[in-house]
Structure 1
């Protein structure tokens, strides 16, 4: 017959092994998650860059029709039109026209007491503070500056454009 203390020790050892196994699984999943997030970030940046280039090409030559074709000699129907993800700010434009991540960035900056750095914004929009996420967010911040939504008076510090984009401030202060 097994004594109670021996039975408890055996159960404790089994529980400890299970915890260690789960910790190892969690560590592996965390690594896989980080890689997947980095892949996603690269794809988002690539899509945004391609969209920006297409928008610039479209703006440069409004009369040229964009045609996507598998064979250059053959005419085909347009596959799609260039769409600018982040439109230039103009009077009356509100943040609801922005993609979700840009809207999140604008809300964080609107709620902040002063200009913020990309590394301060990343955790506030729910991303891990990794180099890839910080750099991806910095690219988005620079795009918002280029399009007139934000100002960057001090390099690397971003705040709302002084003329005040049409941000809905009902969630702020």
Structure 2
């Protein structure tokens, strides 16, 4: 017959082995999760890049930048290359919000739905981000970029609205 202390030691050893096995499984799952997140990130970046290139090509065709007599070499050299590519194209007549990367499109849609001027700290939770200082500042820089490119107006410091467009309307943006 086994004594009680020996039985407890045996059970403790078995429990310790099970904990170690589970920790090893958790570490493996964490590694697999990190790899999956990296794959997802690469795919998101690729999709955004493709959308941007297509938008730029579409905008170039709409503006008639590519003349009918251009050679293929001239067309290639006039297209932007990856280095220094513009993620947020300048707004121009006929350009729709769909050409913007997802986060910029979300920001513009939140502002479009707002009854008045909106601050960065009000936008952050509406686009699904935590309201940390870093996320607010990142969003504020995106808002400023949208103002610079003509998608938004900054009527007073830190308060953003859709850009006013159309005949007879003021199109002045933030300083």
Greater Rg over alpha carbons, structure? 2
Does 1 or 2 have the higher relative contact order (CA < 8 Å, sep 6+)? 1
Question: In which range does the TM-score fall when normalised by the shorter chain?
Answer: 0.3 to 0.5
- TM-score normalised by the chain length of structure 1: 0.47
